A = this chain, B = another copy of it.
Amino acid sequence: MANTRAYAAQSADSGLAPYNFERRALRDDDVAIEIDYCGVCHSDVHVVENDWGGSQYPVVPGHEIIGRVTAVGAAVTTYKTGDLVGVGCMVDSCRSCSACDTGLEQYCDEGMTATYGGIDRHDGSVTMGGYSDNIVVSERFVVRVPEKLDPASAAPLLCAGITTYSPLKHFNVGKGHKVGVLGMGGLGHMGVKFAKALGAEVTLFTRSESKVAEAKKQGADHVVVSTDRSQMKAVSNSFDFLLDTIPVAHDLNPYLKCLKHDGTHILVGLLSAIEPPVNAGLLLLKRRVIGGSLIGGMPETQEVLDFCAEHNITCDVEMLDIRDINDAYVRMKKGDVKYRFVIDMKTLKEG
């Protein structure tokens, strides 16, 4: 068992503070990883502050983990000491249902085991995430990080990246398609990059005129200010695919009108009720669909890293000293980060 230095929240309003605990001893299929970088995801804030209910304290957040292998279990075949690897949002699943069998562990019939705040399937303990100097994960849930990628800015690919890449791939977005990306945060800016790299013509939808220049800098071909009715009308019936990263309730109906027949509107940021309600007529009259998508399976999480290495795609990040994590949460809640904080884990050793 490895002594682990970490940052944890002890309650919904305690903030994060240094915390020590023991990682489990290596099982046969386990990989031990010394963590170099960990991205900071909005989910971290939600779980730390118990916004979704059910948080079990102490919470050690973090599911965008990059590090080096320090040891492997007896049965591990894929990784060896020194390998640069990543761990994303899940660390286990049943491994035998139809979803797991097809590499869609995130849709496991029994539910995936989350990287933090989940319940370990073997010993019943609560999982602890990547705001820590090491982690122990079954090799199936570890991915290889191409050495060509900058490891710090690769960290958010393990959540923000795969979350936006997976639906674009699943729904076969590519050359000749018109894709709209709704929202320009950590997920949205990755959505723009991926849709472009896949060959689509990309439009960023934003409520804010102030984001137009930034969206174009990120690679968007066009920007539509969604609060401007004439701009919305000008793009009606024209999109094949909308990637909706908006994390709060919003009216889908004006966006649905922008889809042409057989167009697809995919939600990746919303977990609550779709309010105001969708007008079913907008679906029927053009055979449009609305769906949702959750991160990606393990094969596709490997694929997104390889894709990013091939296309020179990284997340725009701001490096963070872990001692500033509570301030970073305050800034994130205001949307004041372009586009993802990544903790440099060296600062944990210094702290």
Contacts and interface: CB of A to CB of B under 8 A. Distances in A.
Interface of A: 98-99, 104, 107, 109, 170, 237, 260-262, 264, 267-268, 270-294
Nearest to A99: B261
B290 A285 contact: no
Contacts of A283: 267, 290-292
A286 B107 contact: yes
Contact of A288 (B170, B275, B285, B291): B291
Contact of A109 (B104, B237, B276, B284): B237
Contacts of A274: 274, 277-280
A14 B291 CA distance: 44
A264 B291 CA distance: 9
A288 B136 CA distance: 32
Contacts of A284: 267-268, 270-271, 292-294
A107 B273 contact: no
A271 B281 contact: yes
B287 A279 contact: no
Contact of A273 (B262, B272, B279, B294): B279
Contacts of A287: 104, 107, 170, 291-294
A219 to B, nearest CB: 26
Contacts of A107: 261-262, 285-287
Contacts of A291: 283, 287-290
A293 B284 CA distance: 4
A272 B261 CA distance: 19
Contacts of A273: 276-280
